[in-house]
Structure 1
Amino acid sequence: MTDAPRLAGTIVDALRWRRDHEPDAVALVSPDGAETTCRQWYDRALVAAYGLVARGVRPGDPVLLVADDRHWSDFAVSYVGVLLAGGVAVPVPVALYPAIAATPQPLLGAVTVRHGELQVPDGPWPVVADLDLAGHPEAPSPLPELHGSDPAEISFTAGTEGPPKAVLSSHDTLTVRYTAEESPSQPGDGSGYLLVLPFGNTFAHTVFIDAMQTPGARLYVAGGFRPEDFVDRLCRAPIEVTFLVPAMVEALLRTPDLPWDKAGPVEVVCVSGAPVRAEALAYLGQVLPHATVVNSYCSTEAWPAGTDWAYTPDEAVNAGRPWECREVRVIAGDGTIAAPGDTGRVQLRTRGVRARRTVALSGRLPALGPDAVAAWVGTDDLGFLDDHGRLHLIGRRGDVFTVGGLQIAPAQLEAVLLRHPAVRDAVVLPSPHPSLGAIPVALVVPSGEVTRRELLRVVIDEVGADRAPRAVYFVPAVPRSAAGKVVRADAAELLARVRRVEAALRDEATVVSYLAGVVAELVNGVEAPDGWTNFFEHGGDSLAALRLCRRIKSDYGVAVQAREVAENPALRDLAEVVTEQLRRAEDR
């Protein structure tokens, strides 16, 4: 790799170097095939910076960049424009923006930039369309001089276990790959990167930053993921490097007749984002026999620290060794460093590099001082180091629960279930228990004929009866984020709904009791005395009927119309309507 970008202290320096040394090289290819050269990228970003400065953006001001999978190329221009203006870029998926805009004490000095046709709700900051930034071809004032220690961006954690956390990075943190020796699994010059990960995902943004700084790199943005479209891209474009999360690999594995034999010369497939099954990595090695399959691990808070491992059939490691200049350790429950083989909380750091900092989205952003250099960053992941210093991930700290004194890692049980050929997806959750504290329960998406008894027997054979799920429920889909991570709060709600449905199918009286409670909430606070109670005589009206239908849809997953409430006002008759809908759904 050419050494000029290694001297860069900011991302802007790296892209400027590409503009000067390879101006006509294509750097970005959008989902519709439109190409952006290094010169076009930088020059458009410069105009965007002028537009931001003209609208009052000053060094250190946060600029929220609202986009989705369709707007990567437009976002790329705005992102660099924010940095050129001295601002702090805040990439925000459009679905996340309302929650950020509702912050009681919002960030001071912020501006929101929306991309393309996206509309964003009113918030505490002025909103400008990205195209409107192009109206200032000349600088209204000199652009600020940037330094590596300046704040550069705010990224967000996945938010699958609670509200997303905001994490602040400096320029030199984002450019560390080009100021230190590179990991051998990183792509070389001129690589074609294929990005199918969703906008706003930490792994996706890391790929975007790396491609921006790599001489000769061409970033193909797919605009979303479907197994058929992914393989088609590999067949049509010169892709050397691609990036996936485990859920995407599982989807590829379950999709028959993909034309892998027509795929181009893929050299590296990097899988990250969660623990991944050895069988899934083996599948990638089989369908792309000339590629190195790399299992990579990092976190939003700890990046650029991380680990990776090049998969080999005889040695399955789900995280691997630290990258160059990075370190990993495992902390036991008593705060000491865990011995090899003992499970604890994973910590990461990068030597000589300013660590990221979790910040509140209110007031002014803090400075990233020298005290943050080489700091250990705790993750919410549990794992252990083996005798060779390789990291093995167990699961998320918030996911692990105790059953009668035994620690249960859902990811391990899910991996066993997913190996069954008739299982498309699965998630294991804790369910309260009066004596054990909790018991594991599995939600399974079947892809063929399989019984609950068969699945329980398979898991018991592998992990033992004490650790195996105590119940299995079949569901149409497992709730996952855009990056493929299980949204466990939604999964818990799904489990409650499935249990309600099964209870209703066993005994219609449970539906009558449910309706009586809901009617009391919606009408007058007085529970209906029996199943013959008339909804309207009890105080209901057309508006309450609509609310009742929405509750039934939310709690049971079936659609009851307001007219059906009118035709069946007695709660017992309405319960028959709900139960019949549930039976029809079960038959389908």
Structure 2
Amino acid sequence: MLRALAIHSGRQATAHGDSVQSYGELADRTARLITLLRDNGLTPGAHALLVSPNTPDALLAFHAVPLAGGVVVPLNPAFSDEALRFLAGHADPVVALVDTACLARVGGRLAELGIPVIEIGNASGLSARLGHLFPAPLELPEALDEDSPISINYTSGTTSDPKGVMVTHRNAYINLSNLLYHLNLRPGSVYLHALPLAHGNGWGSAWAVTAAGGTHVMLDGDGTPELKRALLTRGVTHLFASPAILTPLADSAAPLTLPHPVRLLLAGASPPPHLLEQLQAQGFRVLHGYGLTETNAVMTVTEPALEGGDARILSRQGHPMMFGGQVRVVLEDGQQVPADGFTPGEIVIRSNQVMKGYYKNRAATRRALDGGWLHTGDLAVVHPDGRVDILDRAGDLLTIGGQSVSSAQIEAVLYRHPSVREAVVVAGPHPVEGEPDQTCAVAFVTLHPGAGVRGDELRSFCAPHLPDYALPSRVHLVSELPKTASGKVLKHVLRGQATVR
């Protein structure tokens, strides 16, 4: 980061609406924010809370807090008010950077805790405030330990068992190196921030794009129209996103054709092959990745150049990235599964990207890092070519009629229908009276705009492609699926709905 701030002073660093900022300006504002943070009590190793949507000021915090020796703790504004207030206390911050639009949600709690607040965002007047401060030297903090945290990233807004992932400087460095290599980030690259920076530090983009001397483009607003507009008008060359963000772009009723190829790192959930085919046809050069917040985001990848663009193979989670480490799929006794594409096991990971642990949650840390490997809870198979292919979360594998069934395999069949936009399968009670202990597959489906297919028609469509016990007994058409702040489907909500329907 220091290298980029020093040698790219004339290059464009950020773009947001009509506002642009050079690397020289970013360096100056970073130096002055370091002074402001220290004046407000940030000392080496102390925590700085960040509550903000994606803005140049939020990105500035990701630069200034580590250089001030602090640990950045970004909270997703999509978390509930209750979660934001709880985590604001759990994170033990000594200072908070809060966007003006979020201040009413957490300001009262921070005042109760006696935490000084630095207001940021377009309407905050931060630039004027920084202009009156003396810039601090841009240099590494004294006695920086590469195994000390650079950030704490909460995996969700839950207040019952908070998991604040401690990402170390070394974790971030290895992640950054992988992104530079596999995404070919370079000076002049233009990266579109479609992911919240609060989600795994934007999968590492907060620092990787700066290291490359690229331009950070912030969306002018939320939603698919703004995303499309940016892709068509901002000269975007790189994008990281989940299938939930990109599925609307694949709407056949409103086709998108990119003006030039865009390198896309797609992760967060297993994409159906037809979505990959549509994205490739639109001009995206898709790399399909896999990882968790606990691995400092993405650490495996399947690259189109290695399999000729075959969407079926590209939908698999691939191999560890260049500096990714070790990924195994193991049985309950710890033995690796055979590479037969059939035998399921749990993904375990040993890597320089694996977290230091969960903040103030030793029990969860011990469970997750048992035996020196991160136990992901993701079930997968390994294909003969060595590629990992995720089936389900451990708790999402269905047991129907005494048979184990992957919900992902049923969903893959539903996705073959051209009307299906999203499909999620969960277990529900058997519809036949007198069999209260039996379960069946229940599907929840959203359709592309204008599609008129019925649930029973989708069920008939699936019948030739699934064994009888795996055929969904019910297919519910819904307008939207319940999702987390990061876009993952809340399957426990759907299980509740499957029980009462």
TM-score under structure 2 length normalisation: 0.83
1:500-519 mapped onto 2 (5 Å cutoff): none
Counterpart residue identity of residue 444, structure 1: V
Deviates more, 1:184-193 or 1:124-133: 124-133
Instruction: Give the % identical residues.
Output: 24
Contact persistence 1:63–1:88 (CA under 8 A): yes
2:115 pairs with 1:126: yes
1:284–1:38: structure 2 CA closer, same or farther, 3 Å change rule?
same
> Do 2:48 and 2:94's aligned partners in 1 also have CA atoms closer than 8 Å?
yes
Partner of 1:486: 489
Q: CA deviation at 1:203?
A: 7.3
CA distance in 2 between partners of 1:162 and 1:459 (Å): 39
Which residue of structure 1 lines up, in the alignment, with residue 442 of structure 2? Answer: 441
Counterpart of 2:15 in structure 1 is 29
Paired residue type of 1:309: T
| One-letter amino acid matched to 1:246 | P
Instruction: Classify the secondary structure of the residue corresponding to 1:453.
Output: helix
Higher relative contact order (CA 8 A, sep 6+): 2
Confirm or deny that 1:176 pairs with 2:177.
no
| Farther off after superposition, 331-340 or 143-152 | 143-152
Name the structure 2 match of 1:347: 348
Alpha-carbon contact 1:329-1:347 (below 8 Å) kept: yes
Distance 1:212 1:349, change over 3 A: farther
Question: Hey, what's the Cα distance between the residues in 2 that align with 1:408 and 1:107?
Answer: 39
Q: Which amino acid aligns with 1:330?
A: V
| 1:496, distance to aligned residue in structure 2 (A) | 5.6
Mapping of residues 141-156 of structure 1, within 5 Å:
144-145=141-142, 146-156=144-154
Which blocks of at least 5 consecutive residues in structure 1 are unaligned?
1-13, 367-371, 500-588
- Where 2:317 maps in the other structure, the secondary structure is coil
- Give 3-state SS (helix, strand or coil) of 1:117's partner: helix
Residue equivalent to 1:167: 165
Cα gap change, 1:278 to 1:305, in 2 (>3 Å): closer
CA shift, 1:26, in A, is 0.9
Deviation digits for residues 323-364 of structure 1 (CA, Å, limit 9, x no counterpart): 1132211011232222213211112233xx36313323589x
Q: 2:335 maps to which residue?
A: 336
Say which of 257, 260, 270 aligns to 2:265.
270
Could you say which residue in structure 2 is the equivalent of 1:382?
379
Q: Is the 8 A contact 1:149 1:171 kept in 2?
A: yes
Q: How many residues align?
A: 466
8 Å contact from structure 2 (residues 168, 356) kept in 1: no
Pairing 1:323-472 to 2, within 5 Å after superposition: 323-326=321-324, 327-341=326-340, 342-350=343-351, 353=352, 355-361=354-360, 375-433=372-430, 434=435, 437-447=438-448, 448-472=451-475
Query: What is the root-mean-square deviation of aligned Cα atoms in Å?
Result: 3.2
Q: SS where residue 273 of structure 1 aligns?
A: coil
Residue pair 1:26, 1:37 contacting (<8 A) in 2 also:
yes
1:144 Cα offset (Å): 4.0
Contact 2:274 2:311 in 1 (8 A): no
Q: Name the amino acid aligned to 2:338.
A: A
Shift, 1:484, TM fit? 2.8
Measured against aligned partners, the alpha-carbon deviations of 1:26-65 in whole angstroms (never above 9, x if no partner) come to 11112x2311221222221222221121122211111110
Structure 1 residue 477 corresponds to structure 2 residue 480 = yes
Cα gap change, 1:349/1:42 in structure 2, threshold over 3 Å: closer, same or farther?
Answer: farther
CA-to-aligned-CA distance 1:298-343 (integer Å, 9 cap, x gap): 1111236621112313752421111113221101123222221321
Say yes or no: does 1:250 pair with 2:247.
Answer: yes
Letter in 1 for 2:459: L
**Is 1:60 equivalent to 2:45 in the alignment?**
yes
Distance in 1 separating the partners of 2:446 and 2:311:
30
Task: Report if aligned partners of 1:58, 1:86 keep a CA contact under 8 Å in 2.
Answer: yes
Q: Which residue of 1 aligns with 2:95?
A: 111
Partner Cα separation in structure 1 for residue 327 and residue 420 of structure 2: 34
Alpha-carbon offset, residue 275 of structure 1? 0.5
Query: What are the residue-to-residue correspondences of 1:316-327 with 2, within 5 Å?
Result: 316-317=313-314, 318-326=316-324, 327=326
Q: Is the contact between residue 90 and residue 155 of structure 1 (CA under 8 Å) also seen in structure 2?
A: yes
* 2:279 maps to amino acid: L
- How much does 1:154 deviate? 0.6
Pick from 288, 298, 302 the counterpart of residue 309 of structure 1: 302
Q: Tell me the distance in 2 between the aligned counterparts of 1:304 and 1:480.
A: 19
- Structure 2 residue identity aligned to 1:452: G
CA shift at 1:259, angstroms?
4.6
CA spacing shift, 1:250–1:44, aligned 2, 3 Å? same
C-alpha separation between the residues in 2 aligned to 1:405 and 1:478? 29
SS in 2 for 1:175: helix
2: CA distance between counterparts of 1:104 and 1:323?
Answer: 34
Give the counterpart letter for 2:285 in structure 1: T
CA contact (8 A) 1:196 1:225 kept: no
Provide the secondary structure at the position in 2 that maps to 1:35.
Answer: strand
Give 1:319's aligned amino acid.
Q
| Structure 1 residue identity aligned to 2:346 | R
Show the counterpart of 2:62.
79
The alpha carbon displacement at 1:90 in A equals 0.4
For 1:189-204, list aligned pairs within 5 A.
189-202=187-200, 204=202
Q: What is the rounded CA distance, in whole Å, between the counterparts of 1:109 and 1:229 in structure 2?
A: 33
Please list the CA deviations of residues 174-204 of structure 1 after superposition, one character each: whole Å capped at 9, or x if unmatched.
1225667964444344211122123422373
Aligned AA (1:320): G
Displacement after TM superposition at 1:135 (Å): 7.3
Q: Deviations over 1:449-501 (max 9, x none)?
A: 2233221122221121111211122222211234332112333344466x3xx
Evaluate the alpha carbon distance shift between residue 489 and residue 305 of structure 1 in structure 2; reply closer, same or farther with a 3 A threshold. Answer: closer
| TM-score, normalisation: structure 1 | 0.72
